[in-house]
Chains A and B, each alone.
Chain A
Amino acid sequence: MRERVRGLRKEERWRGLSVSDGLVLGHVLRIHTGTRHIYRATLDEADVARETRRFRAAVRLARRQLLEVKARAERELGPSHAYIFDAHLLMLEDRKLLDEVKNHIERERSNAEWAIKVVTDRLLAVYSEIKDEYLRERGSDIEDVAQRLLVALSGERTPTRQLVEDAVIVAEDLLPSAMAELNLEHARAIATDAGGWTSHMAIIARGLGIPAVVGLRDLYRRARTGDKIVVDALSGEIVLHPSAETLQSYQTMIARESPRAVSQTTGARAPQTGPQEVLRTLDGVEITLRANVELPAEYEGVKRFGARGIGLYRSEFLMTQRGVMPSEDEQREAYLEVARLAGVDGATVRLFDLGGDKMGGLAHDTERNPALGLRAIRFSLAHEEVLRTQARAVLRAAAAVTVGRLDIVLPMISDVTDVRRARRIIEEESAKLEREGKSAGRVRIGAMIEVPSAVLVASKLAREVDFFSLGTNDLVQYLLAVDRGNDEVAAWFRSLHPAVLESIWRTLEAARAAGIPAVVCGEMAATPAYAVLLVGLGATDLSMTPSSIARVRRTISAIEHAAAQSIARECLDGESADAVEELVRVRFRERWPHLFPPETLPAVGDQE
């Protein structure tokens, strides 16, 4: 009976604010974090002293739990993300809070729960008046601490949440400690009734690449654990109990969408056995697959999926929020950890790609066109102390590396001028370190090739740097003058545009002629069909999100390099993106029908 009622449930839709992109189909896991009902009890005079002792014991327990949560956050998200719990710990030590609660218990002969509620409600009321959005949202920290105290008083212990593989977390709100206690490795998406762009949850979700939508009013009340749900964090739409037709249309979208969404639906997270062997095409050409990483939570994947080192470490993820810069020592620690993880194959640290969109919402106010603005190496050169601090941190970490190596890649290079300026600063810092008696390691310096001008002068750049890293995401965007975040022009964002292929080919040729290595990073490398084309264009070194490695590895080990090369040559002659996509569909199906089912290839009319 219940099943029948369930089966009849109508599809329901919500629209909220997307705070972390992606598209996911999954099942609801409801997390209760909501407010509890607190009642007032009047105590006998004799029980008041016992109540204040009970309160102090709860504070001690909450403190111990917070220390654990903080240690866990440090481990999984990095030290810079754990600071929030420092603030929580300080609140638990705050005389103002402790005294007010204690006074309230004594004066009103109130139970501790009620006293906590009265005192924190008063604080929260003051907070809700604050004009600055970012500061106002810190009110949630007070709520979080109050919640923790109430749980501690009740004698319950927040259970460590076990998540199933495709869980979509649905909650009223996710406060920082709830986030830290979740096993986010298995979370596919997050949807909450409350929250905002700068909430702690949003920051972590963006950092971990978990799609998230907030501001969904009553989703939590309507959803039940186990319900089917679609989280479209590209448009901010949520569909609960999707109909068969809705599911079908989203599945089609996912097949066409970003490689990340695809990897999640195909279960690419399954571990791969024997991944450490050298990867070769059927005709014996060796191809190296490396990992792109951002957060410590992804580190495990580097080993698990058998990456040959870290091809791209996006260092700006050390910043937890707009504008908070990690110190030289914090950075040094982080880089050393990355090098340790990469092992013998080494790691490449991309210098901060800051400015523009990476700085979050606020920067848009000051720059009308942030993608073309003061970002990446331009930003670092304009804020020289940022570059100097980062250079020192990498150089010191490189000196301490025992196995493997650390290299630097400069983002958004447009010609040799920026390379020379950055190199001079790095060399100056290296000399300065030696003078200070600290040792500086030897690092290679590479250039990200992602701006069209860099492609056109690639042969000149190749003489000045030790290696190239091709950033395909930005290259496509800049080359085709298409903002990937803008739906109106989505039809013009074509990774298989012949101009894109030609640019990649030219860059790889320039590197080969100069005798320097070139790594292709970016989402193209993570999609099997595109990876084959990249190999055909001459790439032998690809770096991608760790969860895609297994899939790309399987594909490359099953193709012939010569065939990929001849198809890539044909594609270079294509007259349009349409023509190249059609060519890829036809040739790949002819040659490798077993490897490329239709949904893995660019769809007909993809531009719509």
Chain B
Amino acid sequence: MIEERVNVTNRLGLHARAAALLVRTANGFQSALRLERLDGSASADAKSILSVLMLAAARGTELRLEASGTDEREAASALCQLFACGFGELEA
């Protein structure tokens, strides 16, 4: 299992578009992918859009990403990259 820390940096947070992108990406991998708030208050299955939206992760939220499975390394790196680039959204 791999564990990474990610930050929600895009201004609108994990809203529908960003969540859709995240979930589509996550579903491209075999591994189980979970996101959890660092304070442990909520966690989500990264392959379920409803679950991701329920995290209500606004900008600035810190999350722990857990990937476990045959392609965990690739999956974790793909998801981290999405967070790092703010889901391709402009920072303003």
A contacts, CB < 8 Å to B? 83-84, 86-87, 90-91, 94-97, 123, 126-127, 130-132, 134-135, 138, 141-142, 319, 321-325, 327, 354-355, 359, 362-363, 379, 383, 386
Contact = CB atoms under 8 A, between A and B. Distances in A.
Contacts of A362: 11
Contacts of B17: 83-84, 86-87, 324
Contacts of A324: 12, 17, 89-90
Contact of B16 (A87, A96, A323, A386): A87
A90 B11 CA distance: 22
A135 B56 contact: yes
Contacts of B88: 325, 327
B90 A126 contact: no
A96 B45 contact: yes
Given A87-B19, A325-B88, A363-B92, 16 more contacts: A83-B17, A86-B24, A87-B16, A87-B20, A90-B23, A94-B51, A97-B50, A130-B56, A134-B12, A135-B14, A135-B56, A138-B53, A322-B12, A323-B12, A324-B90, A355-B92
B78 interface: no
21 contacts: A84-B16, A84-B17, A87-B17, A90-B20, A94-B49, A132-B58, A134-B12, A134-B15, A135-B13, A135-B15, A321-B12, A322-B11, A322-B92, A323-B10, A323-B92, A325-B88, A325-B89, A354-B92, A355-B92, A363-B92, A379-B92
Contacts of B23: 90
Interface string B57-78: 0100000000000000000000
A323 B53 contact: no
A434 B66 CA distance: 42
A323 B89 contact: yes
Contacts of A355: 92
A134 B89 contact: no
A383 B13 contact: no
Interface string B1-44: 00000000011111111011001100000000000000000000
A132 B56 contact: yes
Contacts of B54: 123, 126-127
Given A87-B19, A135-B58, A96 B89 contact: no
A91 B53 CA distance: 10
A138 B17 CA distance: 10
Contacts of A84: 16-17
A351 B92 CA distance: 16
Contacts of B16: 83-84, 87, 138, 141
Nearest to A321: B12
B48 A132 contact: no
A584 B35 CA distance: 66
A138 B20 contact: no
A88 to B, nearest CB: 8
Contacts of A127: 53-54, 56
A97 B12 CA distance: 24
Contact of A359 (B49, B51, B92): B92
Given A123-B54, A132-B56, A325 B13 contact: no
A325 B50 CA distance: 24
Which of B10, B11, B14 has its CB near the most chain A CB atoms (within 10 A)? B11
B92 A91 contact: no
A94 B50 contact: yes
B13 to A, nearest CB: 6
A323 B53 CA distance: 19
A130 B42 CA distance: 13
Contacts of A363: 92
Nearest to A324: B89
Contacts of A321: 12
B68 to A, nearest CB: 18
A90 B17 CA distance: 11
A337 to B, nearest CB: 20
A209 to B, nearest CB: 23
A91 B50 contact: yes
A323 B56 contact: no
Given A90-B20, A132-B56, A383-B91, A96 B12 contact: no
A323 B91 CA distance: 6
B50 A123 contact: yes
Contacts of A323: 10-12, 89-92
Contacts of B14: 135
A322 B49 CA distance: 22
